[in-house]
Amino acid sequence: MSIIERPNEYNFLPEVRKGYNFPREVYIVDNTIRSLQSGASGGFHKVSDIVKIGKALDDLGVRELIVQLSWQEGPKICEKLAEENLRCKVVGTSRAYESNWKTLAETGMKAGVDEICFESIMQEDQFEEAAEVCGKYGKTLSHGFSDIYTYDKVVSICKRGIQYGVKSYSFHDSFSLFRFQINPEGIKYFVSRILKDVPDMPPIYVHLSNVFGHATMTAAAAIVAGATAPDVAMNGIGHHAGHIPLEEIVLVLEGLYGIDTGIDLGKLYETSKRVSKLTGIPVPLAKPVVGDFAFLVDAYYKSDEINAPSDKKLHSRFPFDPEVVGSREKIIWSDRQISIKSITWKLSSMKLPFNDSLVSRITKRIKQELEKKQDYPKWFTDTEIENLIRDTLKS
């Protein structure tokens, strides 16, 4: 069932859908913890905070949590997450070219990770040793492309890794074929080609930076072409302008493509706020899905369309009910929304008696108070308007 009341018919035309090649299952791989381990996040968080975030993301429904073993307290984070008996898989990742890669992997597995993701394997022969190390501890193996490769090298590495049971391949946009600049059409071509050139390809993950503000739709294009999972971060946390925002890609896939992501949508807003509180990293006010200004409705349009059927409301409705993501509609009143009509509607909704003289007095009072505001935003919330109206009635 679509979260959108009336899905756009163009999204589901046969001519459009023939270009879709969704995998059998789509799920969410989460990079929030790894992003928070990076100093570029700017957060104020302890290991205990990161573990709370991991639990919240697990409760949200992510399939994997990624922890960088060689970054800030990686093994300690893995150890604490393992104690929580999470439903999701905890994946410890490290660079395969580091001289201590084997020690890092063993440390992570002893700490309780479920899988080791070796990034940037350059020589195919290293898969044998990597598989042997993981097998010793009964853990699985995956690989992340996060360095410079030619396409032929990518194919060669993928084929060899499959022989040793690699569970997934993650493609980071920093590697040479993407260079932070891959657009939706480019990534669709890449995913389609790699699926064709590598038989029995395991799930493909895409890890994208948001330098151009393009990460969400580029990730969606990858899924359309057959990739299994976007590698996301809650609130888009991360360096390079952040990574694929969890809340955005989930709503795009569920709302615009009708794809079940396994995420509990009703907890998105709550989880976003929890991550922000635990890290001190603010959420942009107008951020899609989870921003405090994401679901603003102008009071004038609300009053004008209050009695109109849903399909006739042009300005006071959203493509989906804000409650779907655990948020709510917020009515705002600026100097462009204060009118006899909107104030009359507000008094009626408050079930207060009024006449033309009172409406004019309240309208004038609100405009005067708005003129006094010096801070952003220069509007009143619905609650503030109600308080002003009651105060005016007392005077």
* Cα gap 283→291, rounded to integer Å: 6
Taking the whole predicted model, whether its pTM rises above 0.85 is answered as yes
Tell me the domains of the chain and their CATH numbers. Answer: 9-279 (3.20.20.70), 296-394 (no CATH)
Report d(CA 33, CA 53) in Å as an integer. 8
- Nearest by Cα to 66 from 82, 54, 56: 54
Reading the chain (395 residues) residue by residue, the pLDDT tens digits are 578 878 889 998 999 999 899 999 999 999 999 999 987 788 889 999 999 999 999 999 999 999 999 988 999 999 999 999 999 999 999 999 888 999 999 999 999 999 999 999 989 999 999 999 999 999 999 999 988 899 999 999 999 999 999 999 999 987 767 888 899 999 999 999 999 999 999 999 999 999 999 999 999 999 999 999 999 999 999 988 899 999 999 999 999 999 999 999 999 999 999 999 999 999 999 999 999 999 998 888 888 777 666 666 666 688 899 999 999 999 999 888 788 888 999 999 999 998 999 999 999 999 999 999 999 999 999 999 999 999 999 88
Measured between alpha carbons, how far is 192 from 317 in angstroms, rounded to an integer? Answer: 37
CA–CA separation, 223 vs 206, rounded Å? Answer: 9
What letter would DSSP give residue 310?
Answer: G
78 Cβ contact list (under 8 Å, min separation 6): 67, 69, 90, 92, 108, 111, 112, 113
Task: Count CB atoms within 10 A of the CB of residue 390.
Answer: 11
